[in-house]
Amino acid sequence: MFAGIFGLVALAVALPASAQDRPDQKAFRDLYKQLVETNTTLSSGSCTLAAEQIAARLKAAGYPDKDITLFSTPEHPKEGGIVAILPGSDRTKKPMLLMGHLDVVEAKRADWVRDPFTLIEEGGYFYARGAADDKSMSAIWADAMVRFRTTGYTPKRTIKLALTCGEETTFAFNGAQWLAANKPDLIAAEFALNEGGGGQNTKQGKHEVLAIQVGEKAAQNYTLAVTNPGGHSSQPVPDNAIYQLADALKAVQGYEFPVKFTDTTRAFFGALAGAPTTPKPVSAAIARLLADPKDAEAAALLSRDKTFHSTLRTTCVATLLNAGHAENALPQRATANVNCRIFPGETVQATLAKLQELAGPKVTVTANAPIRPVAIPPALDPKILGPAKAVAAKHFPGLAMLPLMSTGATDGIFYEAIGIPVYGAPGLFFDQDGNGMHGLNERIGVESLYAGRDYLYDLAKAYAG
């Protein structure tokens, strides 16, 4: 997530030293290990089992049954989740929500150096599928709820925990979407803390910068399809489904959606422009583009960086192809999946209309289910950013914090659609290569996990009062 962005504003500081043998850390490691080693892939795992394990820990900590809700549906019995509540003392304060997802990306043992569903500590890292995404944060939130109860902490603001399934697979049952549609009162909150923020380490292992995610794009898939009577390949004709689809895809490839800004991306690029380490041509291009988003020359210069390019606009890219039925026949059907990451405030239908225009009349373009809500950017609220920076100054002194709009997508979009602003909390640091998330040999630094746990625990308490 962070690779290629923060080198421009790097302020490297030494990693803080912290013991890893505190009793509370041992208890956390046990919870984290159990969660990581519980297979929660869509193909063969069970989020429901993981949710039940967390529920058992919460009950052992003293939570009554009325404050724990386990849920699933008959159609998706293994894709359940959990909501837990720690009541606050001040009824005038709206609740806060700690959210995460239990499911993980598929992992084949034959491809990995280590068993992806066995937590292995090696060379200063924890290795396993989900070690970072998102069982690190989900374990931290569940552990925090346990610690709050066992230490007798009573927050002023009610704290809610929602751990759900389905974030990693577009076509799967999505627990966050289900809660938003069916149990909105159960998760109702003034704001939510989610994955998506964090920090990046240098190649030498020092912290560079922290980021708090304030907004994200909406992920939406579209199908481009061409049908044709076909015929014998010995007598080709110009009206060829594959060629027509290829022309449409080239048109999509060649189109740049217009540059747009949210308050978050304006603040992000403004901070980059003012940073002393930012090259002068980049600073100048940022200043010009902030003043005039239609400045094509400035946009082209910044778009050489793939992350800047995606942060500035909606993007659509071909990801899957399927065509033809025989090697000696003209194709009767050709289809492609185009994955779009839609800028906040823009709609699925407007993006569909643009793709239809680009593809032309001989290509059918449809929006694939599920249709995602419009991405709603949260405010740069001082009540959220202030505590995040204040707690960071204690845990990571001397480190800059930037607001960031994710070019990806999380389950936060479903909660934002029902009026809950969602912020990606900082605290966990990752390497510049992305730590193998969604890929092979996923990992997270042991020190990063423990230090992030301490930060996020204190941050939750700062918001809860």
In this predicted structure, what is the pLDDT of residue 10? 43
State the angle between helix axes of 135-150 and 446-464 in degrees (0 to 180), rounded to the nearest 10: 50
> Which position has the token pair 């934002």?
416
In this predicted structure, what is the pLDDT of residue 350? 98
Answer yes or no: are the C-beta atoms of 251 and 379 closer than 8 Å.
Answer: no
Which amino acid would we find at residue 189? A
Answer yes or no: are the C-beta atoms of 18 and 454 closer than 8 Å.
Answer: yes
Two tokens at 288? 């010009």
**Spatial strand order in the sheet of 218-227:** 315-323, 333-342, 218-227, 364-367
In this predicted structure, what is the pLDDT of residue 205? 87
Domains and CATH numbers, the chain: 6-216+375-464 (3.40.630.10), 218-257+317-372 (3.30.70.360), 258-313 (no CATH)
Burial class of residue 332 (count of CB atoms within 10 Å of its CB; 0-12, 13-18, 19+): middle
Q: Within the chain, what is the greatest distance between any pair of CA atoms? A: 80
- Full pLDDT tens readout for the chain, 465 residues: 343 444 444 444 444 444 567 889 999 999 999 999 999 999 999 999 999 999 999 999 999 999 999 999 999 999 999 999 999 999 999 999 999 999 999 999 999 999 999 999 999 999 999 999 999 999 999 999 999 999 999 999 999 999 999 999 988 999 999 999 999 999 999 999 999 999 999 988 899 889 999 999 999 999 999 999 999 999 999 999 999 999 999 999 999 999 999 999 999 999 999 999 899 999 999 999 999 999 999 999 999 999 999 999 999 999 999 999 999 999 999 999 999 999 999 999 999 999 999 999 999 999 999 999 999 999 999 999 999 999 999 999 999 899 999 998 999 999 999 999 999 999 999 999 999 999 999 999 999 999 999 999 999 999 999
Show the DSSP H helices in 237-381 as ranges: 241-254, 263-274, 280-291, 296-302, 306-311, 348-359
Q: Is the peptide bond before 279 cis (omega within 30 degrees of 0)?
A: no
In this predicted structure, what is the pLDDT of residue 5? 46
What 3-state class would DSSP assign to 6?
Answer: helix
Which amino acid would we find at residue 96? M
Quote the CA–CA distance of 86 and 159 in Å, as a whole number. 5
In this predicted structure, what is the pLDDT of residue 15? 44
In this predicted structure, what is the pLDDT of residue 3? 39
In this predicted structure, what is the pLDDT of residue 21? 73
Quote the CA–CA distance of 169 and 265 in Å, as a whole number. 27
Answer yes or no: are the C-beta atoms of 452 and 429 closer than 8 Å.
Answer: yes
What 3-state class would DSSP assign to 185?
Answer: helix
Helices then strands (H, E): number in the chain? Answer: 14, 19
- For the chain, how many residues are written? 465
Quote the CA–CA distance of 92 and 88 in Å, as a whole number. 10
How does pLDDT run across 271-317, given as a tens digit for each residue?
999 999 899 999 999 999 999 999 999 999 999 999 999 999 999 99
In this predicted structure, what is the pLDDT of residue 20? 61
Two tokens at 13? 């500081």
Quote the CA–CA distance of 197 and 384 in Å, as a whole number. 13
3-state secondary structure 65-98: HHHEEEEEECCEEEEEEEEEEECCCCCCCCCEEE
Neighbours of 37 (CB within 10 A): 17
pTM of the model: 0.93
Show the DSSP H helices in 107-212 as ranges: 135-150, 175-182, 184-187
Quote the CA–CA distance of 313 and 446 in Å, as a whole number. 36
State the angle between helix axes of 47-61 and 23-37 in degrees (0 to 180), rounded to the nearest 10: 160
What are the Cα distances from residue 127, in Å, to 102, 124, 293? 17, 10, 43
DSSP state of 413: H
